[in-house]
Amino acid sequence: MRFAADLKGSVSHRGKAPFTSEPDRTGYNVKSFTLGFPGLCILYISSVFDIKCQRVVSLTFGIAGQDGMEQIQWEIKKFNQLTVTELYELLRLRVDVFVVEQICPYPEMDGNDTHARTLHVAVRADRKLAAYLRVLAPGVSYPGVSFGRVVTARGFRGRGLSHDLIEKAVELARVNWPRVPIQIGAQEYLRAFYLSHGFEVISEIYDEDGIPHIDMIRKQD
């Protein structure tokens, strides 16, 4: 699994009721919620709910300060919900870090991004892609749920975004595939990082693309 190693911000949301719900023509229900705290911040949440499958398939939320503070927004989307620009941005970030920065030529586009149940999780700061990971359904990469391509852009490191990403991945796994173990292949130098998030080592060190890796697992209650 690829990994490269705080949320504060600001949006203005005007012209909408505090809560809106509107079905679209594709079998989804779109809901938006805005909550303001005078002098403090604004919270904005928008979700897309799949009526047929009874699951949230896309979630966007942001936290905003009132005085020009940095806007932070989380986006959770499936492949077919990504715009061309969003796809380009996340692939560019992954290649810049995992191939160029880590000096590791390997097949970055492995086919798992397009899987129908893959979730792409992005963190944006003032609309710039700051951090990213993808969550893979059981059977795509491991028998259990998995996640990978955990990456933070160089200018946004040191803010704790990596920890936030892992917590979000665990939450998404619990909601979408309850009681299914989470399995990852982690770079060995990140052993302590993942141990702090409840993962256990289940393999010896092995080589993957010239980088030492270990398999780890976290059981879900």
In the predicted model, what is the mean pLDDT of residues 169-187?
95
* Average pLDDT score over the chain: 79
The percent of residues in the chain predicted with pLDDT above 90, rounded, is: 60
Across the chain, the runs of DSSP E, i.e. the strands, are: 3-4, 19-23, 28-37, 41-50, 55-65, 72-77, 119-125, 128-136, 146-152, 182-187, 200-201, 206-208, 211-218
Torsion sign across C-alpha atoms 95, 104, 157, 187: positive
Q: Is the dihedral of CA 95, 101, 107, 113 positive or negative?
A: negative
Q: Average pLDDT of 2-30?
A: 37
Per-residue pLDDT tens over the stretch 108-156: 999 999 999 999 999 998 889 999 999 999 999 999 999 999 999 999 9
What's this model's pTM, rounded to 2 decimal places?
0.73
pLDDT at position 18, please?
Answer: 36
Q: What pLDDT is attached to residue 59?
A: 58
- Res 17: pLDDT: 34
pLDDT at residue 21 in the model: 39
What CATH number corresponds to the domain at position 133? 3.40.630.30
Q: How far apart are CA 119 and CA 81, in angstroms?
A: 10
Q: Which two tokens stand for residue 93?
A: 């970030």
Residue 69 has pLDDT above 80, yes or no: no
Return left, alpha or beta for 209; rule: phi > 0 is left, psi -120 to 50 is alpha, else beta. Answer: left
Answer whether residue 78 shows pLDDT above 90. Answer: yes
pLDDT at 191: 96
More confident residue, 133 or 5: 133
Q: Tens digit of pLDDT for each residue in 17-53?
A: 333 334 433 344 444 444 444 544 445 455 555 544 5
Domain enclosing residue 111, as ranges:
3-218
**Mean pLDDT computed over 52-72:** 56
3 vs 195, more confident? 195
Please count the structural domains in the chain: 1
Asked whether the beta carbons of 123 and 164 are under 8 A apart, the reply is yes
